[in-house]
Chains A and B, each alone.
Chain A
Amino acid sequence: MNFDFSDDLNQLRDQARRYLAEHCTSKHVRSVLEGEKSYDGALWQGMADMGWLGAAIPEEYGGAGLGHEGLCIIAEELGRVAAPVPFTSSICLAAEAVMLAGNSEQKRRLLTGFAAGMHIGTLAWAEGSGNPRESSFTPRLVGGKLTGTKWPVPDGGSADLCVVAAQDEAGRPILALADLRAGGVTRTALETIDPARPQARIDFAGTPAEQLGAAGEGWALLQSVLDRAAVLIAFEQLGGATTCLEMATAYAQERYAFGRPIGGYQAIKHKLADVYIANELARSNAYYGAWALQTGAAELTLAASSARVSATEAYHLASKENIQTHGGMGFTWAADCHLYYRRSKLLGLTIGSAGYWKNRLVTELETRNAA
């Protein structure tokens, strides 16, 4: 039984935490949230230089080859500080899609750029309301040109490469890789609940694009990419939920009402105990996801779904009860509580909401049970 990260990876965690404590304070998050920038470029470059972006990318493609467990650690630490960088989009979605579906030429051409932070990738599955659904993707790739519309696309304003859930000439589901720097692309920034992770609408009008993976496999590939991302994002969510509990606990120890710390009242104590319980369940499920992702286990879908559901619910609970514990102060722009409240909901929606993953989880249980 060895169900925890190795000492080496825990050192990576310490290193990441120290770096982020200096380079990703709430001031940095706010400069993106309140300003014109769509991400913190200095932090992004720093992350690339430290080898974090390429943590799970094999060395032959310019990565650090630490495997997915290493990337899980990075994701958790970024989640703790609500980092304003396109990490989820570029690394957890686009780079994972290329590693999973790309041929060796595509991997060689694309992954180095992602690892170096030179290219920002993203993945566009949504077309307005709804969760991922088979045969629902309308953009068409015809003769190397993509036409159609996607929204919301995470970091769609800053990305230069976009993996698009689409169909080919024959109407078969495919993943297409579009070059957003080329012509025929209109990007419209969207007002969102968390401007520190911007979203865009992208209209493709004959945008140069190539196919990623086999024709007809698009839906299966998308699901596999989302499974992988679900584990990584679960760690990001877990990091955020952990920070929320720490903030709420610290405030409950310091803030006095009726002559004693509010943390002495059971309504607050039991609320925070419930947050602790949810966070620990989420952590344990996320670890199982990390194991499944790292080893390529057949249980990946089930593990990823459980990790996703647990982490989404834990982060939502922790972030809303953090505000509640802070009282009026928690509702202000000046307090940091809302950075996490926004992020928890954003991450909970970005690859399909909890309901979608619960359904996926039970479908897995059914097939496993039938086998």
Chain B
Amino acid sequence: MDFDDTNEEAAFRAEARAFLAANATLKSVAKPVSRGRHIRAEEITRAKEWQAKKYAAGFAGITWPKRWGGRELAPIYNVIYAQEEELYAVPRGVFEIGLGMCIPTMMAYATPEQLERFVGPALRGEEIWCQLFSEPAGGSDVAALRTRAERDGDDWIINGQKIWTSGAHYCDYGIIVTRSDPNVPKHAGLTFFFLDMKSPGVECRPIKQISGTSHFNEVFFTDVRVPDAQRLGAVGAGWKVSITTLMNERLAVGEVPRPDVEDLLALTRMIDVDGEPAIRNVAVREKIADWHCRTQGLKFTRFRTMTALSRGQTPGPENSIAKVVNASKLQDIASYGLDLMGAAGMVMDPELAPLHALFQEGLLFSPGLRIAGGTDEILRNIIAERVLNLPADIRVDKDKAFNQVAHGKR
């Protein structure tokens, strides 16, 4: 075993390092970048500028085809770049959904002319995309969605409501899955489109999250006209297209969310328990060790996946554990950090709270991570069914026409 780069990988890493050193500032443990505060217009501008720089230097679409401005490199190069970028405080997140999920779905289903029009601007950071899947009627059970699409000549008319749509309020385009036929079982009656978020009849209302900020939205559709040319996949094949999107979600290279072990180490040196630094306390040490093992376990699990990729093998299912482990770990570390602070753990003023309130922010942010992109429960189901081959849950709605299926009041 070794962790060595090949010559090509080493050259690429050196190039990435040089680019980052010249264009970004290193992260600081003492002053973490806040995640919990509002995304303001100037932050979107900053993110766009950074994305344009990455594009110009060839670090935006590392695995993408050259004709779209990518480098056509193997997935391992994405990981190498991510390893280097992780050390820097750069604006992240705004483009993840578009470049990670929406555009790859477009690449699988859109026409060459459409790709010509949309891929470049997305990669350069000029246009931002969102994913309009979840609805009040279903997030885990997203195929229970009710937003209607009805054919009208060369157009479709969309009516209904999406919810939890990250970034919809600043996005330019979105991919949307709708119900085109309620008379057939739920998976069979869906149709998929992309649309201009500025279309008449689209209305975004930001939702205030428990952290007090608003990263996601309700999106209402009232007689929104979408040309049939913007349909992705066949009429009634929307579920298959959605699967393409969701598969890409699982390929995303996630960063380790903070606060993590390094932050806890820093905190336990600053704070006393029973008159000595918390880090001297046996119970505290055991917790640190537990989380270290999880963080490192995930890191090396990713390395196993990368190794399979670089050997030209199909990776095993091991990386499916990443989000479920990360999300709970974050919540537990944040909560434990506050416990160590005692009563002062309540105080979120960044001038007073250690590490600029990183732990307090983590407490209020982490519940979302256990829900977004597949809940803890759904992810455990996926591991049990796809990896361990255990039987699927009983699905009472599977063979019934969608409009005959029972639904709740909420």
Contacts and interface: CB of A to CB of B under 8 A. Distances in A.
Interface of A: 1-5, 69, 245, 249, 252-253, 260-261, 263-264, 266, 268-270, 272-274, 276-277, 280-285, 287-288, 290-291, 294-295, 305-306, 309-310, 313, 355, 357-359, 361-362, 365-366, 369
Interface string B299-320: 1110110111011000000100
A366 B265 CA distance: 8
Given A249-B390, A277-B321, A358-B285, A270 B296 contact: no
B351 interface: no
Given A1-B5, A264-B393, A281-B321, A358 B388 contact: no
B389 interface: yes
A230 to B, nearest CB: 13
B18 interface: no
Contact of A288 (B296, B325, B380): B296
Contact of B384 (A272, A282, A306, A362): A272
Interface stretch (B46-54, B85-93, B236-244, B286-294): B286-294
Nearest to A362: B285
A369 B306 contact: no
Nearest to A5: B1
17 contacts: A1-B310, A4-B307, A69-B1, A260-B391, A260-B394, A263-B388, A266-B381, A269-B384, A276-B383, A283-B318, A284-B298, A284-B299, A284-B318, A306-B293, A359-B282, A362-B289, A369-B265
Interface string B336-372: 0000000000000000000000000000000000000
B356 to A, nearest CB: 20
Contact of A359 (B285, B325, B383): B285
A270 B384 contact: yes
Nearest to A359: B285
A284 B384 contact: no
Contacts of B384: 263, 266, 269-270, 272-273
B279 interface: yes
A280 B301 contact: yes
A39 B184 CA distance: 65
A41 B2 CA distance: 37
A306 B296 CA distance: 8
Nearest to B385: A269
Nearest to B289: A358
A276 B388 contact: yes
Given A2-B2, A283-B318, A358-B285, 10 more contacts: A3-B307, A4-B307, A4-B308, A245-B388, A281-B294, A290-B1, A294-B1, A357-B289, A361-B292, A366-B265
Contacts of B289: 305, 309, 357-359, 361-362
B236 to A, nearest CB: 29
Contacts of A306: 292-293, 296-297
Given A270-B380, A365-B265, A369-B265, A277 B325 contact: yes
B388 A272 contact: yes
A12 to B, nearest CB: 15
Interface in B358-410: 377, 379-381, 383-385, 387-394
Nearest to B76: A1
A1 B3 contact: yes
A2 B307 contact: yes
Contacts of B318: 280, 283-284
B8 interface: no
A277 B383 contact: yes
Tell me which of B282, B379, B388 has the highest count of chain A C-beta atoms within 10 A of its own C-beta.
B388
B4 interface: yes
B383 A273 contact: yes
A309 B294 CA distance: 10
A282 B297 contact: yes
A322 B303 CA distance: 29
A266 B389 contact: no
Contact of B297 (A245, A260, A285, A362): A285
Contacts of B324: 277
Contact of B377 (A4, A266, A287): A266
B383 A291 contact: no
B394 to A, nearest CB: 7
Given A1-B310, A3-B300, A249 B389 contact: yes
Interface string B1-37: 1111100010000000000000000000000000000
Contact of A3 (B282, B285, B304): B304
A2 B390 contact: no
Contacts of A249: 388-390
Contacts of B388: 245, 249, 263, 269, 272-273, 276
B387 to A, nearest CB: 6
B377 to A, nearest CB: 7
Tell me which of B2, B300, B304 has the highest count of chain A C-beta atoms within 10 A of its own C-beta.
B300
Contacts of A272: 384, 388, 390
Contacts of A2: 1-4, 307, 310
A357 to B, nearest CB: 8
Interface in B91-126: none
A314 B409 CA distance: 42
B307 to A, nearest CB: 5
Contacts of B303: 1, 3, 284
A264 B392 contact: yes
